């Protein structure tokens, strides 16, 4: 029987460069929040890059922060995102990040209407690439939630059935 894991990608547009004082509080918490994710029940994998290295940029604009991870279930990811110290950082995001809709249209790799978050199912053991994450964001922006790219508000099972909430 096929086992499935949940992949997620999210992006944000920083109000300043990494060394800008406006970003200091966020940057100071970043390692701790990433370590919290890695210790959280259901965590499987996290994409790690050096976003200061232009050769490792997922998008050309250095103010776009790119995050991608894999979890054993929707419930595990939801618990980490909204019921741990991550929730406090997420709630304060407007201090460090601009309104995504305002900036996404200016990103040639994405374009207007692309959301900041996409979820999708992968076979257990698979590891998504940044390009796959960006494709899921674009797919969700173009088609809305569907089995290949969805949101917490409108989810699908690994078999493609809509989840009633």
15-41, pLDDT tens digit by residue? 999 899 999 999 999 999 999 999 999
Query: Quick check: is 157 in a domain?
Result: no
Query: Quick check: is 103 in a domain?
Result: yes
Alpha carbon distance 43, 79 (integer Å): 11
C-alpha distances out from residue 111 to 23, 100, 119, 141, Å: 25, 11, 19, 9
C-alpha distances out from residue 118 to 13, 41, 158, Å: 16, 21, 15
pLDDT band at 51 (very low <50, low <70, confident <90, very high): low
**Computed from CA positions of residues 53, 59, 61, 62, in that sequence, does the dihedral angle turn out positive or negative?**
negative
Domain enclosing residue 78, as ranges: 4-143
Q: What are 120-150's pLDDT values in tens digits?
A: 999 999 999 999 999 999 999 999 999 999 9
Q: Quote the number of domains for the chain.
A: 1
CATH number of the domain where residue 8 is located: 3.30.70.100
Query: Quick check: is 76 in a domain?
Result: yes
């Amino acid at each position: 029987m096929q086992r499935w894991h949940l992949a997620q990608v999210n992006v944000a547009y920083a109000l300043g460069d990494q060394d800008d004082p406006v970003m200091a509080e966020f940057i100071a918490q970043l390692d701790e929040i990433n370590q919290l994710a890695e210790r959280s029940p259901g965590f499987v994998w996290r994409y790690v890059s050096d976003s200061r290295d232009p050769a490792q940029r997922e998008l050309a604009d250095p103010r776009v922060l790119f995050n991608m991870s894999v979890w054993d279930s929707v419930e595990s990811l939801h618990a980490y995102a909204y019921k741990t110290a991550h929730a406090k950082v997420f709630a304060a995001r407007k201090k460090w990040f601009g309104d995504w809709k305002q900036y996404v249209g200016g990103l040639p790799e994405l374009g207007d209407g692309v959301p900041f978050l996409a979820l999708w199912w992968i076979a257990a053991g698979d590891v998504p690439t940044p390009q796959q994450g960006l494709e899921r964001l674009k797919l969700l922006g173009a088609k809305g939630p569907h089995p290949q790219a969805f949101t917490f508000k409108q989810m699908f099972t690994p078999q493609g059935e809509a989840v009633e909430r």
